[in-house]
């Protein structure tokens, strides 16, 4: 153990070395043999140490276990204990801070709080300590900013300093969804302007509001719509473009319009000057779980025919933001959550012929290779159990969650895309 860059304080340097001896690393292998390697590790000290409540800034030590899956042969790591419910971010929100650190939820201190999970040593740094549940999330890793809804406010959390600030009060309206422009200038959110009219109908009107963070100015940028607006997603590279869904309700007994909205996802300019449906949607087709590709050039989605002559056929699909240049790959994925890696040639989904986490190498609608990674066997009951797969930025892991053991936990499957 060697201190490369001293803090200038002998006590802090010694404390850093003591911490280093507690770290646990997965063994490095070369030609299937153990190999030696130096690991550079930065230890950050914060004035005041751990917060007065004893949890913000607390480092939880590793709970992980790793094995080779008997069915498909991939290395699986279960990072969190069954003693707590833990899960990572929704599939269309960036889960990773960097190549080896991701954001997770856990209820280990009461409420659903936010942590940074280190995929080298398994440690978890607690970033919040609320007794209620943190809800909607948006992450801008390049800004070290994590935005979240708690009670009647939207907060921003600095993922390095752990500074937590309130940005926007939600007391006077019913928030449905929000996103943050990639330049961190605007929060864009959707609301029900007339909540509670009746539980059996779409209440509304619903609208999209733009909130300028620097000035606090609010502006409605959409018309008043009659169908619930959800799944707002700011483009990752274009600060002027947002997509959203007309959130249908097709589950019996739920509130809202029963049936499939003819066109599920839409787009809007952040100034409200233009917008509309993302392309035509043919009869019987239900497109869902849309997301931006990493370069912001395309929208991915899963699709299935719910009625009509093609009823039962299932696809992964992709199109340009205006709906053109659309292609679909026929695979039995149902309403899968999926993600395309930044090379735009690898696609992972959490449903394939059942609860099998699967990765495809593809070239547009042509499948070049299919790799079944793990049978996650999620109950699919509640968001913490949903796998919501995420590629790590370096292409070495797929992050997912499942309640396979009876408790929602965070997992990875080790892959190697061999990309730069």
- Assess contact for 233 and 244: CB atoms under 8 A: yes
* Sequence-separated (6 or more) residues with CB below 8 Å from residue 366: none
The pLDDT tens digits for 90-100 are: 999 999 999 99
- Assess contact for 51 and 57: CB atoms under 8 A: yes
The token duo for 409 is 């936990």
Using left for φ > 0, alpha for ψ between -120 and 50, and beta otherwise, residue 14 falls in alpha
Q: What is the pLDDT of residue 59?
A: 95
* CA 27 and chain centroid, separation: 28
Classified as helix, coil or strand, 199 is coil
Cα–Cα distance, 50 to 41 (Å, whole number)? 20
For 19, 267, 299, 303, 359, the CA distances from 328, given in Å and listed in that order, are 50, 20, 12, 8, 16
The pLDDT tens digits for 307-356 are: 899 999 999 999 999 999 999 999 999 999 999 999 999 999 999 999 99
Nearest to 194 by CA among 207, 185, 184: 207
Using left for φ > 0, alpha for ψ between -120 and 50, and beta otherwise, residue 415 falls in beta
Cα–Cα distance, 170 to 271 (Å, whole number)? 21
- What mean pLDDT value characterizes the chain? 88
- For the chain, state the CA radius of gyration: 22
- Assess contact for 265 and 245: CB atoms under 8 A: yes
Domain boundaries, the chain: 1-45
- Per-residue pLDDT band at 374 (split at 50, 70, 90): very high
- Per-residue pLDDT band at 281 (split at 50, 70, 90): confident
């Amino acid at each position: 153990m060697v201190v490369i860059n001293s803090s200038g304080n002998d006590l802090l340097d010694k404390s850093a070395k003591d911490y280093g001896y507690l770290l646990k690393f997965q063994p490095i292998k070369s030609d299937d043999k153990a190999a030696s390697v130096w690991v550079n590790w930065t230890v950050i000290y914060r004035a005041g140490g751990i917060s007065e409540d004893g949890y913000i800034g607390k480092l939880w030590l590793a709970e992980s276990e790793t094995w080779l899956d008997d069915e498909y042969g991939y290395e699986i790591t279960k990072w969190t204990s069954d003693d707590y419910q833990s899960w990572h971010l929704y599939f269309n929100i960036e889960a990773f801070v960097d190549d080896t650190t991701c954001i997770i939820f856990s209820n280990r201190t009461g409420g659903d709080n936010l942590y940074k999970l280190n995929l080298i040593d398994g440690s978890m740094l607690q970033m919040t300590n609320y007794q209620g549940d943190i809800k909607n999330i948006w992450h801008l890793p390049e800004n070290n900013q994590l935005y979240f809804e708690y009670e009647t406010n939207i907060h921003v959390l600095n993922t390095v300093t752990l500074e937590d600030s309130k940005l926007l009060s939600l007391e006077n309206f019913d928030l449905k969804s929000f996103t943050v422009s990639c330049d961190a200038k605007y929060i864009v959110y959707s609301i029900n302007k007339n909540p509670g009219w009746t539980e059996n109908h779409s209440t509304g009107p619903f609208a999209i509001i733009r909130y300028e963070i620097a000035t606090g100015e609010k502006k409605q940028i959409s018309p008043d719509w009659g169908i619930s607006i959800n799944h707002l997603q700011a483009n990752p590279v274009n600060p002027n473009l947002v997509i959203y869904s007309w959130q249908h309700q097709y589950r019996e007994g739920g509130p809202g319009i029963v049936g499939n909205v003819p066109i599920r996802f839409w787009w809007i300019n952040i100034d409200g000057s233009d917008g509309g449906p993302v392309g035509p949607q043919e009869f019987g087709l239900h497109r869902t779980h849309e997301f931006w590709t990493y370069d912001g050039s395309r929208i991915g989605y899963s699709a299935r025919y719910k009625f009509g002559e093609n009823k039962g056929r299932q696809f992964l699909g992709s199109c340009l933001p205006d709906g053109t240049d659309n292609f679909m790959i026929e695979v039995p994925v149902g309403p899968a959550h999926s993600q395309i890696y930044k090379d735009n040639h690898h696609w992972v989904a959490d449903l394939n012929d059942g609860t099998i986490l699967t990765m495809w190498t593809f070239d547009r609608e042509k499948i070049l290779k299919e790799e079944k990674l793990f049978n996650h066997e999620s109950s699919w009951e509640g968001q913490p159990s949903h796998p919501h797969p995420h590629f790590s930025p370096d292409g070495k892991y797929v992050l997912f969650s499942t309640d396979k053991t009876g408790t929602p936990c965070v997992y990875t499957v080790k892959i190697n895309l061999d990309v730069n």
